[in-house]
Amino acid sequence: MKNIETYIENNKDRFVSELFSLLKIPSVSADSTFSDKVKDCAQAVCQQLQAIGVDEAQVYSTPGHPIVFGQKMIDPKLPTLLVYGHYDVQPADPLELWDTDPFEPTIKITDIHPDGAIFARGSADDKGQFFMHIKAFEAMEKTGELPCNFKFLIEGEEEVGSIHLEEFIKSHKEMLSNDLIVISDTEMIAQDQPTICTGLRGLSYLEVEVTGPDLDLHSGVYGGAVPNPINILSKMIASLHQSDGKVSVKGFYDGVLEESTQSRAQLNAVPFSLEEFKNSIGIADIVGEEGYTTIERTGIRPTLDVNGIWGGYTGEGAKTVIPSKAFAKISMRLVPGQDPDKITQKFVEHFQSIAPPSVKVKCTPHHGGWPYVLPEDHFGYRAAKIALKEGFGKEALPLRGGGSIPIVALFEKVFLTKTVLLGFGLNSDVIHSPNENFGLRNFFKGIQTLPIFYRVFSELKMGKM
């Protein structure tokens, strides 16, 4: 690997400059005013693939945002690795909380990143991370042999639920067939602590609307005598959790696979400081389901959160109104054993059942996603473990992720293959928040380590290890 390290060292400025050119394109998938920019970004990604020799790379249109696909087939006898990533990004708002322009990538030295970090929307989620694979491929190809066939699938709708991906992969099943999928869109437990994400939570997401009177009313004339949808929605939301922190939706925990004592012990062996955790986000106390640690609460337990709430007068000053309607966006994170469509259905039934007769309730489901687990005896997990040990000089730790990447379960259903979640980000990257950033150290460590993973994957699959 010395050649690869030398190659990377000699080309690192260009690597960063190429990543910058992708980061500068505001590929915000959730906001239709950025549609053209999203298309531009797809083209830019395609060009990057072509530049490293993936000459069959192409941009595919969908009814939504484009999908980029390219492959380098070395030898049909070699195993095939599919690299998945997404070039779309979260909206950057609230803009006023960014210290630098979210689409003008800026390198800053920080306490966590004394070697510098790239501050930009998408630097960690996901452009910086998928781009490591493109540069790892380039470094390997230029200095030796590629150990396996490669397929790159980089889509543009991950942040909005990958709504057109299912149709695409089903209608291009042969083209995308693979032995393993790898995704870099997750985080390490700590800097220089290699981590394999062995699970992802599923997702169920709804918008609810509670209607009281059929028009806004004067709260003096009517206050105390009519249903106030804000007060009632608050009561309904409050009732969604029991005092022990469990979600009270009827049937929510049915079928939830309890983790074994050994598995839980392993998860909790991961280094974690509660004080640091609390300080990092400025809270005086944590909350959650009784009987579970913080790591367990976010990794192996299903949860419910209200992501947005609004109703009535929210402007400057005072207005004494009883509004006609109140609204909330509610999501649930799911674990193996839970079916997102069934959970959504259970939520709707439960929510309707707890509504008092004085109001009308409407529930509108949004996109969801299945939970996912990678067993530790799977060759993909083993390849990651070996490669990370070699790359970092340290044992990799397994971690059950709190977030959802719904297409992972979809991939398993369509291709019958597993996905290895091999990310090099950090919690301090604050993805989805203002001042998202990705460490240069992490970026280059990934580019150095991934070739090892490619090689070990190939050898394990071929039975040579």
Q: Taking CB under 8 A as the criterion, which residues in 343-382 touch a second copy?
A: 356-360, 366-367
Q: Taking CB under 8 A as the criterion, which residues in 41-80 touch a second copy?
A: none
Q: Taking CB under 8 A as the criterion, which residues in 237-266 touch a second copy?
A: 237-241
Measured from the CB atom, the residue of 166 and 216 that comes closer to a second copy is 216
Q: How far is the CB of 25 from a second copy (least distance, A)?
A: 21
Applying CB under 8 A, which part among 75-83, 139-147, 173-181, 217-225 lies near a second copy? Answer: 217-225
Note whether 6 binds a second copy by CB under 8 A: no
Name the phi and psi angles at 59, rounded to 5. -100, 125
Name the phi and psi angles at 151, rounded to 5. -130, 130
CA-nearest of 165, 237, 238, 244 to 206 is 237
253: exposed, middle or buried (Cβ count in 10 Å: 0-12, 13-18, 19+): middle
CB-based burial, 180-200: b 16+ in 10 Å, e otherwise: bbbbbbbbbbbeebbbbbbbb
Q: Which residues contact 442 (CB under 8 A, 6 or more apart)?
A: 188, 191, 424, 425, 426
Q: How far is the CB of 202 from a second copy (least distance, A)?
A: 10
Rounded CA gap, 367 and 200, in Å? Answer: 16
Note whether 161 binds a second copy by CB under 8 A: yes
The single residue among 271, 282, 393, 463 that binds a second copy, judged by CB under 8 A, is 282
The single residue among 4, 196, 203, 452 that binds a second copy, judged by CB under 8 A, is 203
Note whether 116 binds a second copy by CB under 8 A: no
The single residue among 106, 193, 219, 345 that binds a second copy, judged by CB under 8 A, is 219
Measured from the CB atom, the residue of 49 and 232 that comes closer to a second copy is 232
Contacts 24+ apart (CB under 8 A), 384-387: 384/196, 384/420, 384/422, 384/453, 385/196, 386/452, 386/456, 386/465, 387/449, 387/450, 387/452, 387/453, 387/455, 387/456, 387/457
Note whether 95 binds a second copy by CB under 8 A: no
The single residue among 86, 121, 135, 333 that binds a second copy, judged by CB under 8 A, is 333
Note whether 216 binds a second copy by CB under 8 A: yes
Q: Taking CB under 8 A as the criterion, which residues in 303-322 touch a second copy?
A: 303, 305-314, 316-322
Measured from the CB atom, the residue of 12 and 241 that comes closer to a second copy is 241
Size of the site for a second copy (CB under 8 A): 93
